[in-house]
């Protein structure tokens, strides 16, 4: 196998960073293709905790090249902070190891400002990370945005910022009553930041093209999850990018190449940060227990993650939506601490029973149907799993029609069992 995609199969935070880091040991290139620093991918190595937002999770391996594809929206200010943090953790980052597309859309101060103002004053709260992601993608699609390469030419930068700010000025002044930086201030700010990014900028399309032609092993690292996808997700409570496997073709720059394996990272229960419907959400002490034991706090914003049971109709849908070929089941250790275990196997919706959360279904109107499972209390010390855990896994596999290839039972690199080989 030469190429593998890692995609979140729920609402994000499924443990993509941990799995990317582990499979990164076996591949040559790791590529981020969408999203921005709204992502928070945590990797635990011994007593070190490294949280990556923009830098791909392959960076921890010296033999691996990490690529930020042009589908990513890039905040040069956040990058500077992350670069320093990662280096302070003892990880080497050089232009050989990290390649950033010169065509990434830039997240400006205006984008971040607008994201915050909309969340605080707008009619609908999405519960965004406040990182300017939506406004930056809007600028890109409206053809008024900046590309990273524009940061290297101050005159061009001023010209493009003028064009960009013309309409926004009206919003800031008259709709939100907010201060905002002048074009000159923003140009100065971005020009300075651009100098830090410049050594890493390159034509990542050609880099990847060569790598694929040379049969290098490439891993595509998704951020967020399919249920946050702009087209496939629970709109409008989604992020602004194509988080599923489809986003790879445009966001990494991979026309016509096939991806042999799409590995859906799946938490053994469900979590969600931010607003929006969540059919299996637990509002009781059990939900709080899972939240506490699972350490369910957002890696980017520190917000509490809402917790609930594993939702198989949603999983069945995301498996189809991203053509997943296997899943990794993470955080099984957390479920070893509960004394009641349920799994959602269908919804009652508009007088019917359905087993797949096809788009168009109003998730706020479904009534989940649960099957009570026997609890498992595995210690994972040997390769033998308890019959109850085997039943949990088999129930999932049978429902979604693809195998569970990986079991994760702790944040450490060693806390994992492979039932299937990847990059063999």
* Residue 75 designated active-site: no
From the list ligand GDP, ligand IMO, Mg ion, none, pick the one residue 334 interacts with, judged by a Cβ distance below 5 to 8 Å according to partner type: ligand GDP
129 is an interface residue for ligand IMO by CB under 6 A: yes
* Residue 82 binding ligand IMO, by CB under 6 A: no
Structure tokens at 221: 């690292």
Tell me the C-alpha distance between 358 and 232, whole Å: 9
Candidate list 7, 19, 39, 245; residue touching ligand IMO; CB under 6 A: 39
Pull the structure tokens for residue 28: 């040559």
Residues in 261-280 at the binding interface with ligand IMO, rule: CB under 6 A = 273-274
Q: How far is the CB of 417 from ligand IMO (least distance, A)?
A: 23
CB of 266 to ligand GDP, least distance (A): 10
Is residue 61 annotated as a catalytic residue, yes or no?
Answer: no
For the CB of residue 16, give the shortest distance to ligand GDP in the complex, in Å. 3
Cis peptide, bond prior to residue 236, ω within 30 of zero: yes
Least distance (Å) between residue 214 CB and ligand IMO? 29
What distances in angstroms separate CA 364 from CA 13, 225, 313, 367, one per listed residue?
A: 22, 19, 14, 9
Nearer to ligand GDP, 207 or 376 (CB): 376
Burial 264-293 (b: 16+ CB within 10 A, else e): bbbbbbbbbbbbbebbbbbeeebbebbbeb
Give the distance from CA 229 to its chain's centroid.
Answer: 10
Does the footprint of ligand IMO cover residue 291 (CB under 6 A)? Answer: no
Question: Which residue in 21, 28, 41, 378 is the catalytic one?
Answer: 41
Q: Show contacts with ligand IMO in window 11-30 (CB under 6 A).
A: 11-13
**What is the spatial distance between Cα 19 and Cα 221, in angstroms, rounded to a whole number?**
10
The CA distance from 298 to 39, in Å, is 9
x/- map, 363-402, ligand GDP, by CB under 6 A: ----------------------------------------
**Rounded to the nearest 5 degrees, what angle is found at the Cα of 119, between the Cα atoms of 117 and 125?**
155
Binding flag, residue 409, ligand GDP (CB under 6 A): yes
What whole-number distance in Å separates Cα of residue 116 and Cα of residue 284? 31
In whole angstroms, how close is the CB of 255 to ligand GDP at the nearest point?
Answer: 27
Distance CA 402, CA 345 (A): 16
**Minimum CB distance to ligand GDP, residue 385 (Å):** 14
* Residue 103 binds ligand IMO, judged by CB under 6 A: no
Question: Three-state DSSP class for 108?
Answer: coil
Q: Is 128 in the site for ligand IMO (CB under 6 A)?
A: yes
Contact between 196 and 116 under an 8 Å Cβ cutoff? The reply is no
13 counts as binding Mg ion under rule CB under 5 A: yes
- 14 lies in the site for ligand GDP, by CB under 6 A: yes
> Out of Mg ion, ligand IMO, ligand GDP, none, which partner does residue 127 contact, by CB within 5 to 8 A per kind?
ligand IMO
Per CB under 6 A, the list member of 3, 5, 16, 98 interacting with ligand GDP is: 16
The CA distance from 248 to 71, in Å, is 8
With a CB cutoff of 8 Å and minimum separation 6, the contacts of 79 are: 37, 54, 55, 193, 196, 197
Token couple for 294: 């699972």
Check binding of 32 to ligand GDP (CB under 6 A).
Answer: no
Joined together, the tokens standing for residue 211 give: 């790598």
Shortest Cβ distance from residue 78 to ligand GDP (Å)? 16
SS3 84: helix
Return the residue matching tokens 């905002």: 180
CB of 50 or CB of 336, closer to ligand IMO: 50
Element containing residue 52 per DSSP (H, E): strand 48-52
CA 69 to each of CA 92, 358, 413: distance values in angstroms, whole numbers, following the listed order: 20, 30, 26
Stretch that binds ligand IMO, among 184-192, 219-227, 355-363, 368-376 (CB under 6 A): 219-227
3 state SS of 219: strand
> Which position has the token pair 């390159």?
202
- Phi and psi based region of residue 256 (left: phi greater than 0; alpha: psi -120 to 50; beta: remaining): left
Q: How far is the CB of 343 from ligand GDP (least distance, A)?
A: 18
Which listed option, ligand GDP, Mg ion, ligand IMO, none, makes contact with residue 134 (CB within 5 to 8 Å by class)? ligand IMO
Task: Give catalytic residues, as residue numbers.
Answer: 13, 41
Interface with ligand GDP (CB under 6 A): 8, 12-18, 40-42, 44, 295, 299, 330-331, 333-334, 408-411
Interface with Mg ion (CB under 5 A): 13, 40, 299
Interface with ligand IMO (CB under 6 A): 8, 11-13, 38-41, 126-129, 131, 133-134, 223-225, 228, 237, 239-240, 273-274, 299
């Amino acid at each position: 196998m030469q190429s593998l995609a890692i995609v979140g199969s729920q609402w994000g935070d499924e443990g993509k960073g941990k799995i990317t880091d582990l499979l990164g040991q076996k591949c040559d290139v790791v590529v981020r293709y969408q999203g921005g620093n709204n992502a928070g991918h945590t990797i635990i190595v011994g007593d070190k905790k490294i949280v990556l937002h923009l830098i791909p999770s392959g960076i921890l391996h010296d033999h691996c090249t990490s690529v930020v594809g042009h589908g990513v929206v890039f905040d040069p200010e956040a990058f500077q902070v992350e670069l320093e943090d990662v280096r302070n953790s003892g990880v080497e980052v050089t232009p050989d190891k990290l390649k950033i597309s010169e065509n990434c859309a830039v997240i400006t101060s205006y984008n971040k400002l607008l994201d915050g103002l909309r969340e605080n004053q707008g009619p609908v709260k999405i519960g965004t990370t406040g990182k300017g992601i939506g406004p930056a993608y809007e600028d890109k699609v409206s053809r008024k945005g900046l590309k990273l390469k524009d940061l290297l030419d101050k005159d061009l930068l001023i010209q493009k910022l003028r064009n960009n700010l013309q309409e926004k000025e009206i919003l800031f002044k008259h709709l939100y009553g907010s201060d905002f930086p002048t074009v000159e201030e923003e140009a100065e700010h971005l020009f300075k930041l651009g100098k830090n990014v410049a050594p890493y900028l390159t034509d990542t399309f050609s880099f990847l093209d060569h790598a694929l032609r040379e049969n290098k092993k490439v891993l595509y690292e998704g951020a967020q999850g399919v249920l946050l996808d702009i087209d496939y997700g629970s709109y409008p409570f989604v992020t602004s990018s194509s988080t599923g496997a489809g986003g790879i073709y445009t966001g990494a720059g991979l026309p016509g190449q096939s991806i042999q394996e799409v590995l859906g990272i799946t938490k053994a229960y469900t979590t969600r940060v931010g607003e929006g419907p969540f059919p299996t959400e637990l509002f009781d002490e059990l939900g709080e227990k899972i939240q506490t034991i699972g350490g369910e706090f957002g890696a980017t914003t520190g917000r509490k993650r809402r917790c609930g049971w594993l939702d198989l109709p949603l999983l069945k849908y995301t498996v189809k939506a991203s053509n997943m070929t296997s899943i990794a089941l993470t955080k099984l250790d957390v479920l070893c601490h509960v004394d009641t275990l349920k799994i959602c196997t269908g919804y009652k919706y508009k007088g019917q029973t359905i087993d797949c959360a096809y788009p168009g279904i109003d998730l706020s109107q479904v009534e989940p149907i649960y099957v009570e499972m026997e609890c498992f209390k595995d210690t994972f010390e040997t390769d033998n799993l308890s019959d109850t855990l085997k039943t949990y896994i088999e129930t999932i596999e049978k429902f979604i029609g693809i195998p569970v290839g990986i079991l994760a039972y702790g944040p450490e690199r060693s806390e994992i069992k492979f039932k299937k080989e990847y990059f063999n």
